[in-house]
Structure 1
Amino acid sequence: MSSFSTQMLGPIVGLNLWTLAIETWMYSTRIPATVRAEKAGKLSMRPDMTKEEYNGALPANVRWKADNYNNLMEQPLQFYAIALVMAHLGRGTKVDLGLAWAYVGVRVVHSLVQCLSNKISTRFGLFVTSSGVLAAMTVRAAIAVFGA
């Protein structure tokens, strides 16, 4: 096994920073929208309130940021795991780094589309692209781990 590749940590940290930016954006729109909905009588915060009731009282463009934040807790977890495997194996080749940064870049664009317009067809294309990049990373990691 090769030595640890700190270069492969860059994309991991990058996507985490992006996730924190989305979380900040989410709260900076969601909290004021919640206050407005309460003042307008559209929302009454109760312990037994369902997620659907809460979301129904908020404008769609506010919900999109929360939806994207939740998306960043799903498939990117696989990315983090594979990128850490690659880092542990010392896999910091140009191809591996290029794939990792490409994944981060596509996820950033996906976030911007979801948060700003939520155009489903565009988001789907970006999701498929990010899935393809992640699949390529996974195959490369599998070859490195299991040999070929």
Structure 2
Amino acid sequence: MPASLLAPGAVLVLWTLVMLGWVLVSRFSALAKTGIDLKAAPPGGRGANLEGILPPIANWKSHNYTHLLEQPTLFYAVLIFLHLSGGSTDLTRGLAWAYVVLRIAHSLWQATVNRIPVRLALFTLSSLCLIALSLLAVIATLG
């Protein structure tokens, strides 16, 4: 396990960009199969407009990409608080890596199988890691 508490954050940023690439490939492939001409689409369209038009599995990657831009923003802030306040310990690094591994597993599950009980379990476990990291950040910043 790398010694830097910031490493898990960097890995999750990279994973988010991998998911963005998967979204693009999945959506453009699905659009090509439906025969939709993007040049003929009215201005101001959004990805959400493709719900019900593209197959659900093509949209699942986009849903996950959106999720990676929501809760993980708190994760990045918590890592910075811990890093700057000297809160980098074996425990915080372990929790941070657990969060990243769980979020990647969540992404892979949501993008391919998307059965809610497993997805919810992965989300809950990652959220518990984030809660623990947040509490440790408060302790570290209060000194």
Question: TM-score if structure 2 supplies the norm length?
Answer: 0.89
Find the structure with the greater CA-based Rg: 1
- Match of residue 80 from structure 2: 84
Count of equivalent residues? 139
Q: Which of residues 12, 19, 33 in structure 2 aligns to 1:22?
A: 19
In 1, the alpha carbon distance for the partners of 2:7 and 2:57 equals: 31
**Per-residue deviation at 1:35?**
2.1
Q: How does 1:1-148 map to 2 (within 5 A)?
A: 7-38=4-35, 45-47=41-43, 49=45, 51-147=47-143
In 2, the alpha carbon distance for the partners of 1:53 and 1:74 equals: 20
Deviations 1:103-135 (A, max 9, x none): 001000000110011111111111111111000
Deviations 1:10-31 (A, max 9, x none): 0010101110111111111111
CA-based RMSD:
1.7
Q: Which runs of 5+ in 1 are unaligned?
A: 1-5
**Per-residue deviation at 1:87?**
1.0
Q: Which runs of 5+ in 2 are unaligned?
A: none
In 2, the alpha carbon distance for the partners of 1:72 and 1:48 equals: 24
Question: TM-score if structure 1 supplies the norm length?
Answer: 0.87
Deviations 1:78-112 (A, max 9, x none): 00000011111222211010010000010000001
Contact 2:87 2:136 in 1 (8 A): no
**Per-residue deviation at 1:145?**
1.1
Q: Describe the SS at the equivalent of 1:92.
A: coil
Q: Identity rate of aligned residues, in percent?
A: 37
